[in-house]
Amino acid sequence: MNILIDIGHPAHVHYYRNLAIELEKKGHRVLWTVKEIDIAKRLLDFYGFKYIVLPKKSDSIFGKIWKQLLFDLIIFKICIQKKIDLAIGSSVSIVHVSKISRVKSIVFDDDDDDVQPLVTKYVNPYADYLLSPEALKGKRKRKDTIYYSGYHELAYLHPKRFKPDINVLAEAGILPDTPYFVMRFNVFKAHHDKGISGLSLNQKLQLIEILKPYGKIFITTEREIEPQLKQYQIKISPLKMHSLMYFSTMFLGDSQTMTSEAAVLGVPSLRCNSFAGRISYLEEEEHKYKLTYAFKPENFSEMIFKLKELLEIKDLKAEWEKRKINMLKDKIDFREKLNFQVFNTHLQKCVQYLTPVNYINYLLGQKKIDLA
């Protein structure tokens, strides 16, 4: 098969890379398309994937509409030229293209319908297959959504997939067993971020003042950092970020993805943004497994209280390791089961008329494993 993976965020490289590697091992041809995002391109280069760069995203609403039409046209041309059979991702473009071509689409989406109304209305209903974490079960408008017992982040941070590199400490100038904190701040300019806010500069500075006596502070941010925070900005390869987070004492910020990454790594995490209480998989990580905590910006004082409480807990890392293990008992190795279940059972009908006979034989010869 000729398979396209369309991404719009650096985290998507991590999310799909193990799947892409397995597909290539099976003889399938995988091509990536990526927006003009430097970190994403660096990650794709590191893993040796073939990719085509699309134009840079726009921040304005009219720019987004124009760019979306452009992205659709480019993806459509690529699918025709490269004879793409299957498109994978979380993008609008692969769904649009699948509706006017022979290409089949699989959309992976872990956000709730009400926090992304445009995706809920214009993307998910038209995907050939929609996959979401089981935490969203019963909350999707689309009734044939395929649910799995896991989180997107476990596709690349499950213990079977991820081995932290201890050498990252030396690269960051940290001695072993030295406490330190990782912070991440978003810009909130996606289509679903209208009216959404995260931490203000003043709130960021308050957190830093509290953390200073307890260890070093490293800040990563999506764009240019405020001058007052420059001294804390991290100077490390994005390839090492998960290892840096793994050995950290705690993660703080307003990023959804990195909060969940910290949670599945067994790192205490505190998040502050307007999405608090609205994202089902993060709510599960917080209330069922007690791995993370979320606060709205207007409840920042509660975040301060929880932070001070956590800083006083002895053996904090050991306690979170227990909580992580408890979570993993309920969750699947998503990458492993995805290869079997999604590409065996759910796609079997739609690939039979467009794939080589040897691939059909491969599908029919595999053991079916429930994605639950």
Amino acid at 368: K
pLDDT of residue 222: 61
Tell the residue number behind the tokens 């009400």, with chain if given. 114
Is the Cβ–Cβ distance between 292 and 271 less than 8 Å? yes
Residues 6+ apart with CB under 8 A from 158: 264, 328, 331, 333, 334, 335
What is the per-residue pLDDT for 1?
85
Alpha carbon 72 to chain centroid distance?
22
Where does residue 154 rank: exposed (0-12), middle (13-18), buried (19+ CB within 10 A)?
buried
Residue 338: what pLDDT? 56
Per-residue pLDDT reduced to its tens digit, 15-52: 899 888 888 888 899 999 999 888 899 999 999 999 99
Q: Fill in the DSSP letter of residue 359.
A: H
Secondary structure (DSSP) of 129-188 = EEEEEGGGTT--S-TTPEEESS-TTHHHHSTTT----TTHHHHTT--TT--EEEEEE---
Domains and CATH numbers, the chain: 2-158+332-365 (3.40.50.2000), 171-330 (3.40.50.2000)
pLDDT in the model for residue 196: 59
52: closest CA among 107, 98, 7, 102? 7
The per-residue pLDDT for 64 is 74
- 28, 3 contact by CB (below 8 A): yes
Indicate if the alpha-carbon torsion angle 231, 235, 239, 245 is positive or negative: negative
The per-residue pLDDT for 336 is: 57
Angle formed at CA 264 by CA 41 and CA 366, multiple of 5 degrees: 75
Paired strand residues for 294: 271
Question: If residue 53 lies in a helix (H) or strand (E), which one and from where to where?
Answer: strand 51-53
pTM, two decimals, is 0.85
111 CB burial (10 A radius; 0-12, 13-18, 19+): buried
Residues of the chain with pLDDT under 70: 59, 61, 187-196, 222-223, 334-372
